[in-house]
Structure 1
Amino acid sequence: SGIALEVIHEEDDLGEFAFLLLMAFILIYMILSSVFESFSIPIVMMFSIPLAAIGSLVLLILTGTSIMNTNVMTGFLILLGIVVNNGIILIDYSRVLRRRGYNESRALMMAGLSRVRPILITAITTIIALVPLALGKAEYVALIGVPFAVTIIGGLTISTLLTLVFIPTLNSGLQSSLTWMRGQKPYVKIIQMIIWLIGSYFIFTEVDRRVWQIIDFIVLMLIVPAIIYFIQNSLRKANEKLIDNDELLHIKIRNLVKIYDWDSRFMREWKSGLNIRKRLGIQNEYKTLKDFDQ
């Protein structure tokens, strides 16, 4: 008779979480696209997700918590749905202001000023509620609760602070880029599409890891329009006709006005909202009972 031994290795396979993260991205994008009836606006809102990932990674490193942990991945899955809310609040209110007559820059500025308080209060209350769990010392809490809480606290903190800056900037830049792309001639669009298809083919056939495929694909989608814009802008400047030194210039001034105490552009943008409200007869806002006494 003999003794048979079977060695069973403990597996901590996180491969399933990659599928769950992908499905979470797709579902969030589908919901936002259907609600806002746009394919570009959800991209702006979901930009807060990589910001949250940066915050979670930084706090996990500072606290010495293992990154490859199922509880960390679970916390990040929950974080996906939380951090998008800040972008939704900002962009949705800016769209409301656009319908009221505000220009794009003014609408984004007013949305940030008006919604910064609810965004910060919501984030702070969530973070404070998770602090006791992150400081837990019991064995069960330290094993399960601490990685979960640290992931959400780090991601929510950084994403909330950076969302107020990057989301309006990205939204303005993306809308300007889409407007520029729609105005391109058909042959330019065809060339751009062919380059995208060829580049995508090489990425998904030559790059092995799925993560690098996604990163390379995003870079390709961004760099092709950037190169086309650079080439067009360079050719436009090269074809510009310069005025010769011997050529006579004739300048006609039809109307010359001198304005005293003219505000700077920032102040004019700042006051434009008040002027619009005065023209509409809604210069007074009634948010509390005290406002009715004025």
Structure 2
Amino acid sequence: MRTIRPTISTAARRGAIAAALLAAAFVSVQASSTAAPSAAESLGSVPAEVKEFITGGELLVELRDVYGLDASGERGTDFTDETETGEISRVFAWTDDYLAGIETEDVVRLLNEWIVPILVDDEPVGLATVWIQPETVLPELALFVPDRELALALSEVPDAAALVHDEGADAWFALQDETLTPLVAGRSGLESPAPLADVAIVPPADDAGEASTTSTGIPIAAGAVVLLLAAIALALLLPSRLGPARRARLAAAVPREAATREAAPAEGGSAAAGLRREQSLTRTGRQIKRALEREELAAERPAAKPGAARLGRMLKQRRSR
């Protein structure tokens, strides 16, 4: 184990190693696909700059800043001066062709990730993931998982094996000579070493296909239309003995309620569209009300006597002579 001694890198040193780090990163990516990595491939996969970041104190500084104890001292991890790091391992992942079931010799690929167990007072407290930041081309802390069991499981990866992170099964494997050994079984169901050809690999979930937008605007609009039609039918079927005021109130009540519901935009909908629908329903309600009032006035007007229309025309003709 190595004790971390906090140090602060100068800007000059960072600038001097940037070019070398970029070259090392791209060289490792060019050789990223392999069938079953040999000892030579695994052993050369930790750039010197990444190792210096982890063991030279910068990792401890970032761990304390991001995941250390908060002001209350109750949340976070207490990274004391006795914080140590375990063995550094490069992380591999399954290739896209292998996940798709396409016959290929390249079953794993290198990732821009290195994991290292973190120990405090000789006790494992979690697992840190380091990556090379593409913009600055410098190592940075990417993630810290405060999981003691995970740190223990990944503390002794065989030197000649590739450490494979299987995201689909949330598992970690050691792949060596076409043999897959579960370090963290996850949902893989694998409990002991087995030939790679006999293991069913679970592809990771497609997050892009999970997001779907379902608008509730159509059901709300349909409900408003049904309420409006019910109001019209109710107004037409009301018995004539109801007074004009009562009939108008009944006819206008339902459209008003429909307009109120329609005006509230659905989640993710447009407030302007809801306002336009409200105004349209309000105008329709007023038209129904005026039609009912005209009907009531016509019903209450005294009926014309037989022949009254003909007599009126005759009187009009006489006046014009």
**TM-score, normalised to structure 2's length?**
0.20
Higher helix share: 1
**TM-score, normalised to structure 1's length?**
0.21
Higher strand share: 2
Structure with higher RCO (Cα < 8 A, 6+ apart):
1
Q: Rg bigger for which structure? A: 2
